Amino acid sequence: MAYQLYRNTTLGNSLQESLDELIQSQQITPQLALQVLLQFDKAINSALAQRVRNRVNFRGSLNTYRFCDNVWTFVLNDVEFREVTELIKVDKVKIVACDGKRFF
Amino acid sequence: MANSANTNTVPKLYRSVIEDVINDVRDIFLDDGVDEQVLMELKTLWENKLMQSRAVDGFHSEEQQLLLQVQQQHQPQQQQHHHHHHHQQAQPQQTVPQQAQTQQVLIPASQQAAAPQVIVPDSKLIQHMNASNMSAAATAATLALPAGQLLQVVRAANGAQYIFQPQQSVVLQQQVIPQMQPGGVQAPVIQQVLAPLPGGISPQTGVIIQPQQILFTGNKTQVIPTTVAAPTPAQAQITATGQQQPQAQPAQQQAPLVLQVDGTGDTSSEEDEDEEEDYDDDEEEDKEKDGAEDGQVEEEPLNSEDDVSDEEGQELFDTENVVVCQYDKIHRSKNKWKFHLKDGIMNLNGRDYIFSKAIGDAEW
């Protein structure tokens, strides 16, 4: 079982919405949709681990932090994300991070 | 091409993930007895939404769009096309590339073999709507089963309208008629035209997009939108060619059932979609009129007074910038925090970025 963390991303949400539509039109069962999502979790986790190789730095001010059930949630303000190629500035960002060492 | 590093890798990664997932679930689909066609529809829906979200630069799904007959909606064209389709009854899978695609109109492409049709609702529409206005945006998805059963699912971004009626031997055509003009978004009109097959006097169901009233009669359906045209409730057949004029045409005939979905005042988010159900029209309208709308409207000002933080400022881009990732190490020294993160997907200012490692500093 992989983290279900990535379901709330553009990719994950669009998949969930598509599955919902198919469920509503009764083309698939909810059980099947769940299977698809589980498969998606595996695929995205492994793709991120293996197919992505880039680094980002960021700096900002910490507004709130929370550590619960081994999940960190931060809200930062006035953050600059810096990649080799580009700089991205946002007023507020929420970071949700699961433990990277082990699934548990 | 300085900016292209991330913009180049993200779509590719997404495509590869989509491919992997689709291939992996193919077996599951087959085990469940679900047709491969449905799998393809899932893939198409998925890719379309990705494209519409504009968080990624899509490319791959353009082919899928062709298959789905994405059209831009304009009334006359729609009529023509509709007319065309209606007569043919077997809708060829053609793309009708209309003019510039500011809107998407989905027309179900059906094969004559028993193949269900799926219309991809427009999340793009929804997005457009949300971005510019909170006016009612609606997307309709209809499935027309060859057996003649009709399932209609209508989703609206704000007010979801939903009409579901199984029909016998009815040809279902649905169109999404978004009336989006540059610089302004008007409520899209979703029309469903049912043209019963010859010999059938089956009742028709109409789905109306607009947050306005939906007149639902046993035999005829009418839409009474404020800004959108109402399809004329033809009895049988002519609905397809019914006039869809963008202007409000309150053609009210008998109104035994009046469905009102109020989209303009609706503050619920687009997640608030009505599910497919059999409709108890009277109940629904009462409930919706009295309960949801008023309650929400009253609560809104109260809540907003309680809100002290500066949430409003960050709504500019209509996205909450989110990073989902895993942490390697989180360190704190007095009020200085250091973050070591990995394998993350970021959505910043509406766009998607990915990293394998991220290091950050912040002061609390």
Which residue of B16, B44, B46 is the best one to mutate when testing the A interface, meaning the one whose CB has the most A CBs within 10 A?
A: B46
Which residue of A4, A7, A16, A22 is the best one to mutate when testing the B interface, meaning the one whose CB has the most B CBs within 10 A?
A: A22
- The whole-angstrom distance between A18's CA and the closest CA on chain B is 6
Q: Does A72 touch chain B (CB under 8 A)?
A: yes
More confident site: B139 or B12:
B12
Q: Does A24 touch chain B (CB under 8 A)?
A: yes
More confident site: A91 or B3:
A91
In the beta sheet, which residues pair with residue B155?
A: B139
- The whole-angstrom distance between A1's CA and the closest CA on chain B is 15
Q: Does A86 touch chain B (CB under 8 A)?
A: yes
Q: Kindly report, residue by residue over B36-95, the tens digit of the pLDDT.
A: 888 888 888 888 888 887 666 655 554 545 555 555 555 555 455 444 444 444 444 444
Nearest-Å Rg of the Cα atoms of chain A is 17
- Using the predicted structure, report yes or no on whether residue B101 has a pLDDT greater than 60: no
Whether this model's ipTM surpasses 0.90 comes out as: yes
Q: Does A97 touch chain B (CB under 8 A)?
A: yes
Q: Does A78 touch chain B (CB under 8 A)?
A: no
Q: Does B342 touch chain A (CB under 8 A)?
A: yes
- The whole-angstrom distance between A68's CA and the closest CA on chain B is 13
- Using the predicted structure, report yes or no on whether residue B155 has a pLDDT greater than 50: no
More confident site: B317 or B304:
B304
Q: Does B143 touch chain A (CB under 8 A)?
A: yes
Q: Does A38 touch chain B (CB under 8 A)?
A: no
String of b and e for B76-108 (b: at least 16 CB within 10 Å)? ebbbebbeebbeeeebeeeeeebeeeebbbbbb
Q: Kindly report, residue by residue over B206-263, the tens digit of the pLDDT.
A: 444 444 444 444 444 444 444 444 444 444 444 444 444 444 444 444 556 677 677 6
Q: Is the dihedral of CA A67, A73, A78, A81 positive or negative?
A: positive
- Using the predicted structure, report yes or no on whether residue A42 has a pLDDT greater than 80: yes
- Taking contacts as CB-CB distances below 8 angstroms, the residues of chain B near A83 are 5-6, 353, 355
* Chain B, nearest residue to A75 by Cα: B322
Q: Which residue of B13, B49, B359 is in closest CB contact with A14? A: B49
Q: Does A50 touch chain B (CB under 8 A)?
A: no
- Using the predicted structure, report yes or no on whether residue A65 has a pLDDT greater than 90: yes
- pLDDT given at position A48: 87
- Using the predicted structure, report yes or no on whether residue B270 has a pLDDT greater than 60: no
More confident site: B145 or A8:
A8
- pLDDT given at position A97: 93
Calculate what percentage of chain B has a pLDDT beyond 70: 26
Q: Kindly report, residue by residue over B306-352, the tens digit of the pLDDT.
A: 666 555 444 444 567 899 999 999 999 999 999 999 999 999 888 88
- pLDDT given at position B309: 56
Query: What confidence tier does B205 reach under pLDDT thresholds 50, 70, 90?
Result: very low
More confident site: A101 or B148:
A101
- Using the predicted structure, report yes or no on whether residue B303 has a pLDDT greater than 60: yes
Show Cβ contacts of residue B12 under 8 Å, excluding neighbours closer than 6 positions.
none
- pLDDT given at position A46: 87
- The whole-angstrom distance between A30's CA and the closest CA on chain B is 12
Contact (CB<8Å) B50/A8: no
Most confident of B97-111, B171-185, B282-296: B282-296
More confident site: A87 or B58:
A87
- pLDDT given at position B306: 65
Contact (CB<8Å) A9/B347: yes
